[in-house]
Amino acid sequence: MSDAFPVIQLRARKGWLAGRDGVVISFFIHRNPEDFAPAAWRALQVYLQAIPPGTLSWYPDDDGEMAPLDDTGLDYIRRCLLESPWNGLRPIELLETPSEAGGYHFEYYGRRLGDPILKDPIGSVSFSFPTEYLKKHGASHLRALALQLGHELPFNFGYVSFAIVSPQGLFSSGDWTITEALLARYPGLDAYNNRQLSSVIGTHALAPAWLTFLGQPLLGQLGGIAALRKVLPFPEVSLHPMDGDRMLVTLDDWPDPIDTQEKPIPPQYRALARLMEPFLFQYEGEEKELPLYQQDMNRWIRRFLQP
């Protein structure tokens, strides 16, 4: 399985790297920023200890300029999450390189619930890794790390997937025909943009992934562990109860890009998607009247439900 990952290099028009292959760990958190920002700070410490020292070297400052993530910069990030006047409201991004997509990337969005400007806001935290990290350390290591992060964060939904790693979804700056071809071939490849999704997703779910984290109210809406056991009687699947009436569903030994030129979509992905279908996020409205990117997103989230 470790040799099944495609090498992805998506270039923007001016040649800079807009997206690359890797793994993303994403959590969505239905709480106000001040209520979960301390947990996000603890989770960030876990992430920084897991990746090579000094890998995340840059962050956008208050003026939007790239600043080095030295001790002063890290203390600034801590104050943004834990102290006034921000108390977790300021978006945070930590990057490997200031000018293009690196394999390691941290994003935090503290959305205030009920914000009248946004449709259905929710907090989100994501952590990325290059494919080389997965190959070096193995899937069991990454699963254990994701569990450790999940224990820190009061999520209602989360997932871990092979992905196009791209700061703020900037993979769209590349040749879209290449991206479309990749997504059509690899339904196990995630093209995430938490900056956008965290403003609209609310307590809905996204598509099943290699690791799918289910919290409340979603787990209860799905019928709890009994319903999961009933619809997922596959030898590859494991269910791991977590504190706070939450659950980790593991669909396979490794994160699988699912190369449809080589094999069909595994049945456990389709089975979990059918159970989750009523609670999947979808942009509302007549499909033909929605903007094209919303039509694409709706179909992408439902990809495991399609023939």
DSSP secondary structure letter of residue 2 = T
Calpha distance 64→93 (Å, rounded): 11
pLDDT in tens, 106-123: 999 999 999 999 999 999
The domain segmentation of the chain, as residue ranges, is 9-305
State the burial class of residue 275 (Cβ atoms within 10 Å of its Cβ: 0-12, 13-18, 19+). middle
Element (H, E) at 27: strand 17-29
Look at residue 1 in the predicted model and tell me its pLDDT: 55
Element (H, E) at 70: none
3-state secondary structure (DSSP) of residue 268: helix
What residues of the chain score a pLDDT lower than 70?
A: 1-3
Q: Are the beta carbons of 259 and 298 closer than 8 angstroms? A: no
From residue 286, give the alpha-carbon distance in Å to each of 119, 195, 274, 280, 291.
Answer: 17, 24, 22, 17, 10
Calpha distance 158→127 (Å, rounded): 11
**Cis bond upstream, residue 85 (ω within 30):** yes
Look at residue 79 in the predicted model and tell me its pLDDT: 96
Given CA atoms 127, 101, 257, 173 in this order, what sign does their dihedral have?
positive
User: For the whole model, what pTM was predicted?
Assistant: 0.96
pLDDT in tens, 259-303: 999 999 999 999 999 999 999 999 998 888 899 889 999 999 999
State the burial class of residue 173 (Cβ atoms within 10 Å of its Cβ: 0-12, 13-18, 19+). middle
* Neighbour count for residue 279 (Cβ, 10 Å): 15
Look at residue 306 in the predicted model and tell me its pLDDT: 86
* Neighbour count for residue 128 (Cβ, 10 Å): 27
